[in-house]
């Protein structure tokens, strides 16, 4: 959700459409805060290579862990669009924006989702990211643009003066306003 205000600013500056691709972290069995991968609302998934160390021993085990998050991602994406259809991505340059990347897992699956939807090019753009996330995304996206890649990176919020959580109602308001402005 935190990427939507950042994306809205960029979309307005570029005169571009604004939409949302929802991706959720997939938690380890019994440890939901430990992300073993990510899933996008279209079903694109990423399983971290080390997931076997925390009980995800095969693709079927990961899929079971991802199913609940997939349902939540789909429901959230539908709710945030408030009845509007998704912006078509086929044959377009798609800029995927978030407020930052720690592991890059959710951005990875969002990029895969845009590519599956037919994006001509995918560009990942974030204000701050770990070097590891940037390296990982460079293997997936056509381009990665990052303002800052701090040497000692622990969490996205550490690199903001004010890092406030944004709720779904605010995201929906931003998306509705952008859709109205582009109509």
Tens-digit pLDDT profile for residues 8-51: 999 999 999 999 999 999 987 777 777 889 999 999 999 888 87
Query: Tens of pLDDT along 97-143?
Result: 999 998 899 999 999 999 999 999 999 999 999 999 999 999 999 99
The whole-model pTM stands at 0.90
Q: Is the pLDDT of residue 156 over 70?
A: yes
What local confidence, expressed as pLDDT, does residue 23 receive?
Answer: 95
Distances (CA, A) of 10 to 53, 70, 99, 123: 39, 28, 12, 13
Band of the pLDDT at 74, cuts 50, 70, 90? very high
The two structure tokens encoding residue 73: 């991602």
pLDDT classification of 183: cutoffs 50, 70, 90: low
Which strands sit side by side in the sheet containing 23-28, from one edge to the other? 23-28, 31-40, 45-47
> What was the pLDDT predicted at 27?
84
Q: Where are the domains of the chain?
A: 3-182
Q: Is 113 exposed, middle or buried (0-12, 13-18, 19+ CB in 10 A)?
A: buried
Domain 3-182 sits in CATH at 3.40.50.2020
């Amino acid at each position: 959700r935190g990427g939507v205000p950042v994306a809205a600013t960029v979309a307005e500056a570029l005169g571009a459409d604004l939409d949302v691709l929802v991706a959720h972290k997939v938690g380890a069995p019994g440890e939901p805060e430990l992300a073993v991968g990510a899933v996008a609302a279209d079903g694109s998934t990423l399983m971290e290579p080390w997931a076997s160390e925390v009980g995800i021993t095969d693709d079927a085990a990961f899929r079971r862990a991802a199913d609940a998050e997939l349902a939540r991602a789909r429901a959230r994406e539908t709710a945030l669009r408030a009845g509007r259809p998704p912006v078509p991505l086929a044959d377009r340059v798609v800029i995927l924006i978030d407020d930052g990347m720690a592991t890059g897992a959710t951005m990875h699956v969002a990029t895969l989702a845009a590519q599956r939807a037919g994006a001509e090019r995918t560009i990942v753009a974030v204000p701050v990211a770990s070097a590891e996330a940037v390296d990982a995304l460079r293997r997936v996206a056509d381009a990665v643009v990052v303002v800052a890649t701090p040497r000692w990176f622990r969490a996205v919020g550490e690199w903001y003066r004010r890092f406030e959580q944004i709720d779904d109602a605010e995201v929906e308001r931003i998306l509705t306003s952008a859709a109205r402005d582009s109509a």
